[in-house]
């Protein structure tokens, strides 16, 4: 499981000119789920993301989590995080790493 996390003041996802997800202040999480990821992996990552102290407190120190500020998560499936481009110019290895069928891992990530 791999995640790229970004702090945002607001964010949205649009598909075919329709907003399908939208948040105010919080985190955008690009999430790649691999074939061998378990619910334990999902639980660990969800707890880790929720507890990351990456928001500023009243003194300007990065000391608050998304939970502390009452922020939101916008989780976006991003299978290309598992692409391997160390050799050549095309990503390799995605088929071996991705789940064979749609996974409920992303749903489990949300509290």
Q: Determine which one of 6, 14, 79, 106 is catalytic.
A: 79
Q: Is 14 noted as a catalytic residue in this protein?
A: no
The structure tokens 């990530």 sit at 109
Q: Give the span between the Cα atoms of 38 and 66, in whole angstroms.
A: 24
What span, in angstroms and rounded, lies between the C-alpha atoms of 41 and 105?
9
55 is catalytic: no
The burial class, CB within 10 Å (0-12 / 13-18 / 19+), for 89 is exposed
Query: Which of 23, 30, 45, 35 has the alpha carbon at shortest distance from 108?
Result: 45
Options 18, 38, 78, 106, the catalytic residue: 78
Q: Choose, from 6, 14, 38, 80, the residue flagged as catalytic.
A: 80
Catalytic residues: 78-80
């Amino acid at each position: 499981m791999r995640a790229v996390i970004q702090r945002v003041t607001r964010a949205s996802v649009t598909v075919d000119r329709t907003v399908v997800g939208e948040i105010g202040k919080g985190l955008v999480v690009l999430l790649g789920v691999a074939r061998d990821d378990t619910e334990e992996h999902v639980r660990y990552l969800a707890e880790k993301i929720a507890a990351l102290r990456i928001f500023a407190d009243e003194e300007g120190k990065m000391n608050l989590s998304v939970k502390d500020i009452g922020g939101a998560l916008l989780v976006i499936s991003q299978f290309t995080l598992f692409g391997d481009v160390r050799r050549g110019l095309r990503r390799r290895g995605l088929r071996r790493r991705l789940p064979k069928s749609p996974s409920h891992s992303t749903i489990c990530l949300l509290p």
